[in-house]
Amino acid sequence: MWRGIPITTVPQTLVDLAPIFALDDLARACHEAGVRYGTTPARVKELLRRQPGAAKLRAVMVGDHPVTLSRLEKRFLRTLEEAGLPKPITNRPAGTRRVDCRWPEHRLTVELDSYTFHNSRHSWEQDRLRERKARQRGDAFLRFTQADLSEPAAMLADITRHTRGSR
């Protein structure tokens, strides 16, 4: 209790939300809990036992359900699936930074840029830092926008070259 208001921990809140949140909403909540509060899958798993929603929450925490933070990311993943390309890991740490999409086995990082989330000097600087870090760890780095998804042939060719062919 804090000033007469019941409170709980962030991991317990995720466990409590699991039975009532849709999978995508739960994935977003887990992502935000990790980014903002350092909540780890291990801390959540300690609470799970046989709670309602435990299977959904486990799937999100271990990465079996992709975390998508925007309509652009959802559309990108759908476009990849329709083209028969492998799914990336989404919105997970890669080195010291979280990246939108990564295929670690192909050493490829993709950032999806929309003006909504990339319209400030801070976000511009962070984007450049993510790109430098990706290249430092040996990843190819590609950047796509909404326009690339409207005419996806060139984008899909780039991704295919990195995930199926030689770099």
CA distance 76 to 93: 19
β partners of residue 144:
112
Same domain, 153 and 104: yes
Same domain, 24 and 96: no
Which of 92, 159, 157, 162 shows the shortest CA–CA distance to 130? 92
With H, G, I as helix, E, B as strand and everything else as coil, classify residue 51: coil
pLDDT of 101: 92
Domain with 140, as residue range(s), is: 71-163
Q: 10-22 b/e with 16+ CB inside 10 Å = b?
A: bbebbbebbeebe
Residue with tokens 């903002």: 36
Backbone angles phi, psi at 158, to 5 degrees: -60, -45
Q: Report if pTM > 0.75.
A: no
pLDDT of 79: 96
In a domain, 5, yes or no: no
With cut-offs at 50, 70 and 90, classify the pLDDT of residue 55: confident
Number of structural domains, the chain? 2
